[in-house]
Amino acid sequence: MATHSLKGIVKGVKYSPYLNQGKLTRYDIARFDVNAAKSYGLINLGTPGNNLAFSKWVSPKRTRTYPFQRIYNTLGLSTKKVTIIPVIKDEGAAGDNDRINAMTFSWMNLMNVHIVLAWYEDAEKVNTKNKITNQVLNVESVREKLLEISQFHSNALHWNTNHFENDFERIYLNAVESYQRISKKENVVMHKAQDHLATLDKFKVDNQFCVETFKRVTLSGSHAAALRETVTLHELESLGEDEKGIFLIINYQGGEYYLTADEIYWENDQLVIQESKNTTKDKLPSKSDIIDGLFKLILFANMEQVDIDDRINVPFVTRLKLTGNLTGNLFLPTSTNRVSNFCQQNHLSSARRKTITLLNQEAGMNDFQIWITKNDA
């Protein structure tokens, strides 16, 4: 088992989605209510063809509510992309307590998606438990930032950096104050305000919020290993949950970001960079799971170069592995006949046949592989 330094170079991101949901709902900016709006759509800015494509997160923790699927549904549009993220989601002492981290910041920068930080200002108690639900974001602040983005004439990296530097602390404190207010109004015990504030203090240098410190502090656990630019590779084996492959990604502007891959291994003298989705109860993972995996592949598929230690520009392939209660294997992209035969062999429904057909097109258009096979359960 050897330790290696992994680096990928991304000069630009191009991607053609095929599993997106079609026509998006439109909203006028003057009446845009982030709470009433769907999870993604278009915001009309008042002049023909002048729109923002938006998505919103329920929680800053991406593994809970599939925010990448929502962003994915805006990718095929040529307009600016915006994603609205609560800086904290405290569900009460009996619930989860999530904060935004640097991985999200980095990922959105590389995807050229503008972030709008938001805070929850109201909620309701869940029965007698110390837990809240039906959380409501502050509408005016979100609308204000959307208007600012519409007039911002640089890329998402510059917007996100400025937004975090100028607004993170204020929005974070608004969130903490709101949860204290909700605690009194609903008579519910929340996570301690002093713990939220102690976390905020860790992001500061000379009593000012610092983006670089925020990155360093929130890249904890397995992500902290990325700061040492090392990862353990296993020959033809998956990495453990705490040993996911972590790449140092460098973009054309010289920015450095850290992103994870589920599995990294050698196969036929090629480095395989793989995301994996599995189901033990169905024939294919859910559409949300599949799109979540596709979204993570986008940056890896756009790497123009991968280096390992002193080996420059090693051959690599990017792959999404989908496992379920299936017979046989199917590697995409492939011929329509092979897709049809695999679907017939596994008695797949028309909806699943359509999904695989679209995945075949998506893999071919975007130069990555999809491996559909049986699970090991």
Cβ atoms of 138 and 35 within 8 Å: the answer is no
State the chain's mean pLDDT as an integer: 88
Q: pLDDT value at position 314?
A: 94
Q: pLDDT value at position 107?
A: 87
Q: What confidence tens digit (pLDDT) does each residue in 129-174 have? A: 899 999 999 999 999 999 999 999 889 999 999 999 999 999 999 9
Q: pLDDT value at position 374?
A: 94
Q: Which residues of the chain register pLDDT less than 70?
A: 1-4, 220-245, 252-255, 377
Predicted TM-score (pTM) of this structure? 0.89
Q: What are phi and psi of 271, to 5 degrees?
A: -85, 120
Q: Distance between CA 184 and CA 182 in Å, rounded?
A: 5
Q: Which of 159, 160, 107, 73 is nearest to 302 (CA)?
A: 107
Q: pLDDT value at position 50?
A: 85
Strand order in the sheet with 6-10: 256-261, 245-251, 6-10, 303-308
Q: pLDDT value at position 244?
A: 55
Q: pLDDT value at position 228?
A: 43
Question: What share of the chain has pLDDT > 90, as a percent?
Answer: 69
Q: pLDDT value at position 119?
A: 98
Cβ atoms of 250 and 258 within 8 Å: the answer is no
Residues ≥6 apart with Cβ < 8 Å to 348: 283, 284, 356
Structure tokens at 366: 């975007």
Strands 2-4 and 231-233: antiparallel
Q: pLDDT value at position 245?
A: 63
* Site of tokens 């360093």: 216
Q: pLDDT value at position 95?
A: 94
Q: pLDDT value at position 80?
A: 94
Across the strands, what pairs with 319? 274, 369
Q: pLDDT value at position 240?
A: 39
Q: What confidence tens digit (pLDDT) does each residue in 202-257 have? A: 999 999 999 999 988 887 643 554 444 344 444 433 443 334 567 788 876 666 77
